[in-house]
């Protein structure tokens, strides 16, 4: 279990470091991402981005499992 948490932490750190470049590629601003702005309030939920990342990770895990 601790190995899983360490791996997950490393992946999150890498994604955090790559995030500025991922945003420039359009990831995070796809059609289907929910953005709500009113005054000082900004709500952002990257729905489509999350689905695409989930599909890519599922494919990668499936390929490495074989």
User: What predicted TM-score, i.e. pTM, was given to this entire model?
Assistant: 0.60
Instruction: With beta carbons less than 8 A apart as the criterion, state whether 32 and 48 touch.
Output: yes
C-beta atoms surrounding 50 within 10 Å: 13
Q: For residue range 5-60, what is the model confidence (pLDDT) as tens digits?
A: 888 888 889 888 987 887 777 777 888 899 899 999 999 898 998 898 899 889 98
Domain count of the fold of the chain: 1
The parent domain of residue 58 ranges over 2-65
């Amino acid at each position: 279990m601790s190995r899983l948490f360490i791996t997950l932490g490393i992946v999150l750190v890498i994604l955090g470091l790559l995030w500025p470049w991922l945003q420039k590629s359009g990831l995070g601003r796809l059609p289907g991402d929910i953005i709500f702005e009113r005054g000082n309030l900004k709500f952002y939920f990257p729905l489509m981005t999350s689905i695409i990342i989930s599909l890519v990770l599922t494919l990668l895990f499936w390929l490495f499992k074989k």
